[in-house]
Chain A
Amino acid sequence: MLSYIVRRILGTIPVILLISLLVFMLVQAAPGDPADLLLSDEATKEDIDDARKRWGLDQPIHVQYGKFLIAALQGDLGTSFRYTDPVVTMIVDRLPATIELAVVSILIALIVGIPLGVWAGARPNSWIDNVGSFVGFFGISMPNFWFGIMLILVVSGYFNLLPSAGRSTYGVGGPPITGFFILDNIIHGDWNAVRDGISYIILPAVALGTNMMGILMRVTRSSVLEVMHEDFVRTARAKGVRDTVVLWRHVVRNALIPIITVVGLELGTLLSGSIIVETVFSWPGSGSLLISAITSRDYPLITGTVLTYTLAFVIINFIIDILYGTIDPRIRFDK
């Protein structure tokens, strides 16, 4: 197991290097010179040359990449052109909001998607299967940003039930400890603020989680359907184990592997979906940071955010890989 983890980490390093190279090349290949773009129109030739020298843009490309890489390894992704703050600090400040939103979305997707999928798979062609199938199609076909807009329109606008923008009411809640608003206020014991935080997170989390919920439901259904025909399920039934126990203990446990794979794969979609959903709900996460960076052509901030998201995705997939062995002992890691 340990040697497997080490081997996986070693295998991931070249991928991460190549990712950084690709992102770096993207900036290089972009039309226009950053120095030209950022300085005002009145800047003279000398001003531009000076700026190019200061940002190291006059050096050969491999030297620039080397410097970028070494700095990145030391946790320095450069300075934001627009805010003149270190990119890493800006991202780290915004990351908890994104993670909080992602976690709640996944929870919603799991809580609705898996039971629905299990019931649908256990009783194919029943009414619950039809409901599930509808939910599945709805989930995979719904563009999350439009669903978000519709939720704002109906839930916030028409019924005035939940807030439509932001993360909490201004002034509510104690000082941040972990950066996760809801968790922080649970620690503070400020239940009013917790309720406030939850009321703000529900709509964006539903908008973001629907897609994963649909996919989870579909995968769970077909996975359960497949396991239901296995011999050990028949054996369990023959022994007189109750149906519910067979379903949840024998079937679901064995149906988990494809489900986890899909959760891992879909986390990428969820991450990029969060960029758009954050924009719709003005959620102060790193996704809306990326979009505002794009609007202001803040290249270091764009590269930094893109790299952070991709790295997060690589790490998540790595963890999922390790999880397989814990959930299914039949999977051996020694090749």
Chain B
Amino acid sequence: MTNSALPTPDAQNVTTIDDAQSVMPDLPRRARILKTLRPWLKPKIVLGGTVVFMLVFIGIFAPVIAPYDPNGQNLINALRAPGWFSEPHFLGTDHVGRDILSRIIYGARISLVIAATVVVISGVIGIGLGAISGFFAGRTDFLIQKLVEVVWAFPPLLLAIAIMAFFGQSLLILIVALVVQRWIPYCRVARGQALSLRTRDFVDAARSLGASNTRIITRHVLPNLIQAAMVIGTFAMATAIIAEASLSFLGLGVPPAIPTWGSMLADGRTYISTSWWLALFPGLCIFFTVLGINMLGDGMRDLFDPRLKRSGQGMG
């Protein structure tokens, strides 16, 4: 994969900065930063990044931004249409008079926390198992790959639905249910990398210098996976948000007291014939969030490795 003329594959990431320094050594610091940043200034990345940034911002400052308590019921005000600027409830209220805008804002927080946790845990498990699988090969590899094959044989989301059905609603189980298949793409990439690296000269060299397996994996195998993991993680984030919303929509997500976009949509479906705003706004939020994250992932993939373009999307 990487050019063997390079001293170490990790150096590849740094080459742009090194080049910039060697070609234009007198370049002021600001210009150098700009030059490093330039490849990132693609419409997809900027647009997607803005959406993600806004989401994080809204999520963190939810208590400050939200005009009402997301769970504050007010039956007199139930099913009030969006008032835009003329009424107190900008996006209207739901069937028990809760403010839709406030619930959406808090929902962003929940969606983001769940999706990010799922992506990080999946990444750690997937990359860990993948690196071990590829590096040690043989029996370990066989066992891990069998596990991958079996878990991957389930249609995406179905296993999560089954887990939620049997173990009931809780945040912890939801995260487990979403991780259960999401570590696999990481594992595949990590295994491939580890397999191709284990026979390479620099790994032999490291070993002959007395480096332990753990050291070789953490110092030589893992750094090569960062870019791929970032791309996989971004797409996994998008699918995790949709999956979480789907489960909450089916009533299998987080406990009902926590406002999420998916459970808001479930209410929206019930009141669809009378109150369109219940279903429209949370759905729009999911759509634009996922769209933004997908664009970011797409942009990053184009940037890191145009050859990856063909591999389509992650999993739903």
Contact = CB atoms under 8 A, between A and B. Distances in A.
B5 to A, nearest CB: 26
A267 B252 CA distance: 23
Contacts of A18: 146, 150
A23 B162 contact: yes
Interface string B241-284: 01001100111100000000000010011001100100110110
A319 interface: no
Given A215-B312, A258-B310, A309 B166 contact: no
A223 B166 contact: no
B158 interface: yes
A140 B146 CA distance: 29
B53 interface: no
Contacts of A31: 167-168
B161 interface: yes
A19 B147 CA distance: 10
B149 interface: yes
Given A149-B283, A276-B250, A313-B154, A15 B149 contact: yes
A279 interface: yes
B310 A276 contact: no
A161 to B, nearest CB: 16
Mostly, the B contact residues are helix
Size band of the interface chain A makes with B: 35 or more
Size band of the interface chain B makes with A: 35 or more
A313 B298 CA distance: 28
B155 A309 contact: yes
Interface of B: 146, 149-150, 153-159, 161-163, 165-168, 238, 242, 245-246, 249-252, 265, 268-269, 272-273, 276, 279-280, 282-283, 286-287, 290-291, 294-295, 298, 309-310, 312-313, 315-316
21 contacts: A14-B146, A23-B162, A29-B167, A141-B287, A141-B290, A141-B291, A143-B283, A143-B287, A145-B249, A146-B279, A153-B272, A218-B313, A222-B310, A258-B310, A265-B312, A269-B155, A269-B315, A276-B249, A279-B250, A306-B159, A313-B154
